[in-house]
Structure 1
Amino acid sequence: MTRTVRVYWRILVAGFRRQSAYVMAAFGGLVANTTFGLLKVAILFATVRAAGGELEGYDVALMSTYIWISQGLLGSINMSGRIEIADRIKSGDVAVDFLRPLDVQGAAITTEVGRAVFNLIPRGLPSVLIGGIFVGMALPADPSAYALGAVSVLLAIAVSAATVYLLVGVPGFWIVETRGLQILYMVVSGFLAGLFVPIWLFPDVLEVAAQATPFPATMMYPVDVISGRAAGLDAVALVAAQVAWLLGVLAVGQLLTRAGRRHLEVQGG
């Protein structure tokens, strides 16, 4: 067990270091995050004020917190649908992965998590800091909210990586081209995760539909925990839901990976 943990730790660190080579790309992402954050401030602040200063529990300060934390998470939560395993399946390189004494799903997701964690440093945290300094935010006074929020963020990153693996990566065993799935994922994931507006502002039917997917666990839930909108047992319940989604997505992904291995055909070479 110790040896296995050590191996996956090294994979995580390798993913972190690999992403650290793209510092200027991270800076570009920070500029984009800040720009779109300011646009969201203008639109959503006007929406709250038009509703009389409060909308489904959101006042201007809490809405600002939602905006900047969600923008900060954007670089670490995979909403593009891009994942390396899809290309490796298409090229046939995944056959080599299956020969290694590592779980293909575990290695792929751990690598993605390492990359995502790095993005929190040059892109995520500065986005939140800029929003807090120039716009202002409402943050909880209870220190435990930040500790639970950190756990929730890590779970969100893991759920995101596992979900992309399941919905975009694994289907490559059965279809030749996954770019269509990637585009569909990019359109759907951001909306249902609560990137554009909080899912609590959705009509009831759409809110229920969103919560029936793992997407809110990748953004909306950690935002609520860190911002203090969900506190105490409510915050614990959201983190528990993230754990449940992670275990469920991993289980289905493992089953499909094994089925895909039996179905895999590599042409030539």
Structure 2
Amino acid sequence: MTNTKKRNLLAAGVILCALLSGIGTTMAYFTESVQETNVFTTGDLDIGLKEPEWDPKDNDGKNMYPGYTVYKNPTVKNITSDKNGEEPCYVRMIVDILDGDGADVTDSQALNLIYKTIYYDESFDGGYDKKEGTSTGLIQDRIPGYSLSELAAYPMVNPLWEKDTARSTASKLVYNYMGKNGDGILNIQEESTLFTNVVIPIDWNQTEMKKVGNYQLKVTAQAIQSKGFATQAEAYRMLDEEIKGGTLQEIRSAGVN
């Protein structure tokens, strides 16, 4: 008898034994039926960008003069719904420095002066949804204004944001959010402000004011999920690819003021 036939007979024997065990006998069984459904949901990353202190209708940014101080607080927030759980993200803000016609400022002297009008004051208590914030440092409309020596105590941007030197140019400043622990994660309902004030130093005269001229600060926020990336750098590389390919979803456009 071949091995194949032996194996077939053995299998039949096993089956037969199993069938015969119930003949002529009433048996009771413990039975159970279990079903498991696996549900997969997709995330829905959403960020918001506001600067509630800035109001062009109140002539903010109009007719500036040496000593002029105004609150301007571009603040980004992870406003993703938590219905599908945590949706942490990496976020960066881009500050385009434009002239009155909306073109990049290219004059290096003008750019260096404009840099000296942007400041972050950690005492400012405004935020994404809070208007009429207050400050004990750089106070809006204070008379007299602030000198360059006084302004030297304040950084240009929030220390929680790091300048991306590889992606920045003279007129396009790119800042990556790093967070308090340096991991760059912005969780749901977390927010962060890039800078808080635009200040014209009292030291300036007509020469500096003319060189600066009319300018615009265009602030844009971009975000990408943090899950699925080993590093922040890899996430931003992929974000660049999305932008290059024209597939970046536009979440919110910041106004040009």
TM-score (norm 2): 0.25
Between Structure 1 and Structure 2, the one with more strand by share is: 2
Between Structure 1 and Structure 2, the one with more helix by share is: 1
Q: Which has the higher contact order (CA 8 A, sep 6+)?
A: 2
